[in-house]
Structure 1
Amino acid sequence: MSTSLHGLRIAVTGASGFCGAVVANAAAAAGATVVCLGRRPGPIGEHRYWDATRTPPDLTGTDLVLHLAAAVGDPPPGRAAEEAFHAVNVDGTARLIEAAGTRTLIWVSSASVYASPTTPEPIREEHPLGGMTAYGRTKAAGERLAAAAGAVILRPRAVYGPGDPHLLPRLRRAVRGGRVLLPGPDIPLSLTAVENLADACLAARNWTPGAYNVADPPVYRRDEIVSAACGVPVQHLPITLARAAARTSATIARLTRRAPTLSWYALEQLTNPVVLDTSRAAAQGWTPTRTFHDFLDSPGADRP
Structure 2
Amino acid sequence: MERIVYLNGEYVKETDAKISIFDRGFLFADAVYEVTAVLNGKLVDNAGHLARLERSCQELELPLPVSAEQLTQIQKQLVKLNQLEEGGVYLQLSRGNAGDRDFAYPVDTKPTLVLFTQARALLDSPKAAKGMKVISLPDIRWKRRDIKTVGLLAPCMAKQAALNVGADDAWLVEEGYVTEGSSNNAYIVTNDGTLVTRPLSDAILHGITRKSLLQLAEQAGIIIEERNFTIEEAYKASEAFVSSATTFVWPVVEIDGHKIGSGEPGEIAGILRKIYINNAISSAE
Which protein is richer in helix relative to its size? 1
- TM-score using structure 1 length: 0.27
Which protein is richer in strand relative to its size? 2
- TM-score using structure 2 length: 0.28
